[in-house]
Amino acid sequence: TPTIGVLALQGDVREHLAALEASGARGIGVRRVSELESVDGLVIPGGESTTMSRLLTVFELLEPLRARLRDGMPAYGSCAGMILLAGEVLDTRPDAQCLGGIDITVRRNAFGRQVDSFEEDLDFAGIEGAPMRAVFIRAPWVERVGPGVEVLATVPEGPAEGRVVAVREGNVLATSFHPEVTGDRRVHQLFVDMVREVAVARA
């Protein structure tokens, strides 16, 4: 059973832990370097990316986390977690740090203040079955993807039609939306499978 951490500085940590446990992983909250060192993969939850960025510095986790990402640790970021994993962030505070775990440029709060939160049914590449209900809460979108980045989902219709909202590069997965709140475990299952594959390859 892989052990997957959820960065537990701020945001919807419990929902991710529950979704991971329901997907066959052991989930632990990560607040210290020793905890970060003990996990096979890490989820960065939704919340507020500039606050999480500040807390990563305060808790002295920023450089250790960058190091583990460089070393290939699988990571999954939802919403604020996507923002933190990005290589570049638009419309954020000048002092906000990002981790550079995936070669994308994201725009924070991209869907606009008018439409703080909404839901859409999406097709998600590589995930079978019914379309996925995606819940967006002050969500970012992806404005640029690097050459190694796979686009997994886009907004199907409306003013944001075609906007990229799920991506993967190597062992790093990111979604603009929050699968941890819907009871649909397929994204967490995908991430648990990614973590298992890396663990087997390294054993």
Pairing of strands 86-90, 102-107: parallel
Residue numbers belonging to the annotated binding site: 47-49, 108, 137-138
Instruction: Answer yes or no: 16 catalytic.
Output: no
Residue numbers belonging to the annotated binding site for L-glutamine: 47-49, 108, 137-138
Residue in 79, 98, 169, 188 annotated catalytic: 79
- Backbone φ/ψ region at 103: left (φ over 0), alpha (ψ -120 to 50), beta: beta
**Subset of residues 72 to 91 that bind ligand GLN, contact rule: CB under 6 A:** 79-80, 83
Q: Which of 2, 5, 27, 46 binds ligand GLN (CB under 6 A)?
A: 46
Q: Which of 48, 88, 143, 193 binds ligand GLN (CB under 6 A)?
A: 48
Residue 121 C-beta: closest distance to ligand GLN, Å: 19
- The answer to whether 42 touches 194, Cβ cutoff 8 Å, is no
Instruction: Answer yes or no: 98 catalytic.
Output: no
Instruction: Answer yes or no: 178 catalytic.
Output: yes
**Subset of residues 121 to 160 that bind ligand GLN, contact rule: CB under 6 A:** 137-138
- Judged by CB under 6 A, the stretch of 43-51, 65-73, 150-158, 183-191 that binds ligand GLN is 43-51
Catalytic residue list: 79, 178, 180
